[in-house]
Amino acid sequence: MNDFQSPGRPKVREILDWAVTEAGAPSLAVRIQDNDGVWFGSAGLADPLTGARRVPGEQLNVGSIAKGFTAATVLTLAAEGRLTLEDTVEHWLPGSMDDSPYDATKITIRQLLANTSGLFATGMAKEFQRRVNIRSGFLKHRFDAWERQDVLRVALSEPPVGRPGERFFYSNGGFNFAAAIVEQVTGNTFESEVDRAVVRPLGLAGTFARDRCETGYRGRHPRLFSKVFLREGVQPEEVTPDNWQTKMEDPALPPLDTTECSNSWAFGAGDVVSTLDDVTSFLRAVITGDLLPAAQHADMWTTVPTTGAHWLADTRYGLGVYELRLANGVVLRGSSGASTGTMTLAMGTVDGSHLVTAHVANDYSGFPIFDRLLAAEFGAGGLRLEG
C-alpha cells in the first residue's frame, strides 16, 4: 500500500484488490464521501513502466460524465434568458441538418440533452468506426482533430431511430449539437463556456474541457489501456446495436496503450478532463441544486425511461445525468462514462450525503467493478447493461 490509502472499508479494499488480480483492471482509484468524511483507495499501477501508484488529484478522461457538464452549461444559458430548452436546432443552427434525414425544425434543445431527439447512436457511424473503433484505424487517426462541422456531419450520417420526443436512445450526437448551439448563442468556444458556467463557479481546479487539438493532460494522470475494438476486417456496414458484441476483437489480444489521443470527436458528449475530487464536487452540486437555479435544476432531473434502448438497466435519464434504481430499491443519482481506455463512475444518494466516484484505467472491466462498489456502499448492485 502507499501513503494515500485511507484506513477502513475492508469490503471496498477487497473489491480493489479483486479488480486488479482477477477482473483485469490495470489500475483503479476510488473516492467515497459521506458524513464520516472522505475515503480514498487505489490498486494497481498508474504507470507500469515507472511503477507509479494511483494518487488523489490525478487528471482523468471522464467520458460521458462530460454530458452533465454540457447540460449544466446549456441550463445556465437558459437561466440567463439567452435560450430556452424548447428552442429548435433550426432556430440556432439554421441549415445544419439540411440534406440529412433529420428535421431541425422539430428537434428541441431539451430533446438533444435528454437523448430523445431521434438521433442514432453516434458510435455506430461508419466513419467513426473506421477511425476510432478498429485498432488499426485508431492507431492511424488517434491524434486527428475533428472539426465541429465534421462532428455534426457524422452525427447525421445514419437514419433516425424515431421521431423527436418519441423515445430515449443514447446519442453522443445530441450533445455535440448542444455544444454547437452554446457556441452559436454566446459567440465563445464551448470549452470556455463550460469553464464559465461550471468549472469556475464550483472551483474545479483540476477540470477543463479539452480544446479539439489537445490530446493529453495538464497534470499527473494514469496510463490507459483498451482492447474494445472491432476485429480487423469487419466492415462497419455489418455492425448493428444488436450484433456489435459478436464483431469484437479476440479478448485474449494484448491491450493497447491509449493514454494520449484525441477525443475531439466527442466534443460536447465526452471531452472533459477532471479529477475524482472535482467530479465529486460536481456530482454533489447537481444532486443538491447548488449549481443551478431551482427551475433549471428541476429540468435537469426531469427524467424519461430508458427501457428497450440497449442501454443501462433500471435507469431513467434526465438532462446529461441519470437515476439508477439498485436491486434493493435504493435510487442513486449521477452518471458514468467510458471512452477509449477509460471508465469513470459518479453516483450518490438523492440527498447528496453519500457519494462514490471511481476510475478504472481501461474500457473493458469497469461495469462489474463499479457494480460491486455500489453494492458495498449502498447495500445492492444493479449497474448493468440492459438484457
One digit per residue, the tens of pLDDT, for the chain of length 387 reads 456 899 999 999 999 999 999 999 999 999 999 999 999 999 999 999 999 999 999 999 999 999 999 999 999 999 999 999 999 999 999 999 999 999 999 999 999 999 999 999 999 999 999 999 999 999 999 999 999 999 999 999 999 999 999 999 999 999 999 999 999 999 999 999 999 999 999 999 999 999 999 999 999 999 999 999 999 999 988 888 788 889 999 988 999 999 999 999 999 999 999 999 999 999 999 999 999 999 999 999 999 999 988 899 999 999 999 999 999 999 999 999 999 999 999 999 999 999 999 999 999 999 999 999 999 999 999 999 886
**177, 179, 184, 185: CA torsion to nearest 10:** 120
Q: What long-range pairs does 80-87 form, CB within 8 A, spacing at least 24? A: 82/185, 82/186, 83/109, 83/181, 83/185, 84/109, 85/109, 85/110, 85/113, 85/299, 86/110, 87/181
Grid cell at residue 56: 488523489
Q: Tell me, what's the pLDDT at 218?
A: 97
Task: Say what the pLDDT of residue 1 is.
Answer: 42
Q: What per-residue confidence (pLDDT) applies to 169? A: 97
Evaluate whether 50 touches 249 at the Cβ level (below 8 Å).
no
Contact 15, 376 (CB under 8 A): yes
* pLDDT at residue 4, as a whole number: 84
Among 327, 307, 326, smallest CA distance to 317 is for 307
H helix runs in 36-171, sequence order: 66-79, 89-92, 109-114, 126-128, 135-141, 148-155
Q: Specify the amino acid at residue 103.
A: D
**318 is written with which cell numbers?**
434526465
CA dist 365 and 299 (Å) reads 33
**Could you give the C-alpha distances from 1 to 7, 16, 32, 42, 224, in angstroms and in order?**
11, 12, 18, 9, 21
Asked whether the CA dihedral 299, 301, 305, 309 is positive or negative, the reply is positive
Residue written as grid cell 427551475? 295
Cα–Cα distance between 107 and 121 in angstroms, integer?
16
- Are 87 and 108 in contact by the 8 Å Cβ rule? The answer is yes
What SS3 string covers 8-61?
CCHHHHHHHHHHHHCCCCCEEEEEEEECCEEEEEEEEEEECCCCEECCCCCCEE
How many whole angstroms separate alpha carbon 90 and alpha carbon 103?
Answer: 8
Task: Indicate the pTM of the whole model.
Answer: 0.97
Which phi and psi angles does 294 have, rounded to 5°?
A: -55, -45
For the chain, domains (ranges, CATH) are 10-378 (3.40.710.10)
